[in-house]
Amino acid sequence: MSVRVRFAPSPTGTLHIGGVRTALYNYLFARKHHGSFILRIEDTDQNRLVEGAEQYIMDSLEWVGLLPDESPGNPGDYGPYRQSERLDIYRDYARQLVDSGKAYYAFDTQEALEEARKSAEAAGGAFLYSAANRHTMRNSLSMPESEVQRAIDAGEPYVIRLKVEPDEEIVFFDLIREEVRFSSNGLDDKVLMKADGFPTYHLANVVDDYLMKITHVIRGEEWLSSTAHHILLYRAFGWEADMPAFSHLPLILKPSGNGKLSKRDGDKLGIPVFPLSWDHPGLGQFYGFREAGFLPDAVINFLALLGWSPGDDIELMDIGEMIDLFSIEKIGKSGSRFDIEKARWFNHQYIMAYLPERLAYLVGSQFIEAGYEFDERKLEKIILLLQERVTDLNDFLPSSRYFFEEIKNYESDGVIKKWNEVTASVYMDIVQALEAFGPYDALSLEEEVRSVITQRGVGLGTIFPALRVALTGMAKGPDLFMIMEILGKEAVVDRLHKGYTLFNTKN
């Protein structure tokens, strides 16, 4: 059977970076086994739907390059791929369970359920709608058949609940956690169809996975406790032979290592915990990796290793290498700490490896928005000069303003301390040499400047800092002679003259 996996987010909020990791592992597994990666939108919780959330999910997957083989926008043979468009399917299967005695109608009001909860708590326990008390509630198992029909005909609201038999053991093998056991005595009669005619996650999930021929379910560990009910549903439908293999992924932990990573952590620390930024009028602001200057390749590489290890201390991998090396069995059980510094390290590695023209394409809009005029070649030279020094794409602009603006502030204290008649004389010899010099390429410029300094018999450490501060305003920075090449003769000579005046005035 061909491998088929699905990523099934709910558009009830912003897609968390942990959800992207779940999508990534599904994608890697599908590609590893030449199978299909499916995007299914689980939008049955109509009260919590957020406008724009579905598009945000799709935009996020597109940004990181996890394009599904089947989705609402790219349907295949197993659609529809939005659960809200499959309601008749769920209703038919729910009725099938009722007809076979595996599920039942429940007419309990919210007031009755609340009263039952209070009574259970007063007795020192917790309310669980189950075999232990279902006969005391108002449902088709405790009511005469004629009364049930009258209630339905009268339009009384009802839900359909799964009938969980007592004293059963539910055992399954999780590809990450190995053998997992549940007792049915600890399970409630889960609601399968709500009074509004929409299915709950549990029914829709199982029906869709079966009909879409899903072979492996790879999802977060928060769904581990629900798996017992899902297995009971497979049994109730007689689909046990077609049940997918389950894998429940470990949590992504806070940077401190204590507890699950959340939006609050991102807000508190000023770090991205979402793929893309989103300013939503109802939900608030969400800070994304893209807007923080991260490359999607780097984000994917970082996320892949939050729970999975390919072995041999391998860290840097492109998507093809990840696919070749991926194995569910090498995913750990324990949570992985979200280390933003490690994410930045990955981003730095990818920035250094990118071609300058590709980076220039990605950051060019920032320079345009800043009002800077440039040609593509100049920007590519600037990128090449800086890409080993920056951590994210947002660093390029502030690190290169001196190429586009007149210098307003000079870090000149260190230069002033060493400035004297000899230094000034050598400095002006260099300025005069550069005024008459050509061609203006970095290698030739370096040879010329070093030649003048050597002839005058002074140390490079005395002159180079003065040249750098005069040209950039900063005491430290990238290659001095590449800076000269990019600035060009006119700007270099002009700035060196201004620097000479500044150093003499302050001395």
Q: Please choose, from the candidates 197, 201, 190, 191, the residue with its C-alpha nearest in 3D space to the C-alpha of residue 42.
A: 201
Question: Is the distance from CB of 230 to CB of 261 less than 8 angstroms?
Answer: no
Kind of pairing between the strands at 4-7 and 36-39: parallel
Question: Is the distance from CB of 304 to CB of 72 less than 8 angstroms?
Answer: no
Question: Is the distance from CB of 41 to CB of 82 less than 8 angstroms?
Answer: yes
DSSP one-letter code for 253: E
Question: Is the distance from CB of 61 to CB of 41 less than 8 angstroms?
Answer: no
State how far the Cα of 1 lies from the Cα of 243, in Å rounded to an integer: 13
Q: Which residues are paired to 278 by β-bridges?
A: 286
User: Which residues, 6 or more positions from 303, have their beta carbon under 8 angstroms from its beta carbon?
Assistant: 17, 20, 21, 24
Pair of tokens at residue 97: 């369970």
Half-sphere exposure of 123 (CA within 13 A, CB side): 9
- Specify the residue for token string 């000079």: 410
Pair of tokens at residue 496: 């060196």
230 phi, psi to nearest 5 deg: -65, -40
Residues in the chain: 507
DSSP one-letter code for 5: E
State how far the Cα of 399 lies from the Cα of 392, in Å rounded to an integer: 11
State how far the Cα of 6 lies from the Cα of 17, in Å rounded to an integer: 17
Rg, the chain, Cα only? 32
State how far the Cα of 335 lies from the Cα of 221, in Å rounded to an integer: 10
Catalytic positions, written as ranges? 263
Question: Is the distance from CB of 464 to CB of 490 less than 8 angstroms?
Answer: no
- Cα 247 to Cα 23, 68, 187, 237: the distances in Å are 13, 20, 21, 22
SS3 252: strand
Pair of tokens at residue 66: 């996890």
Q: Which residues are paired to 279 by β-bridges?
A: 285
SS3 217: strand
Question: Is the distance from CB of 481 to CB of 446 less than 8 angstroms?
Answer: yes
Which value, to the nearest 10 degrees, does the dihedral of the CA atoms of residues 453, 454, 459, 464 take?
30
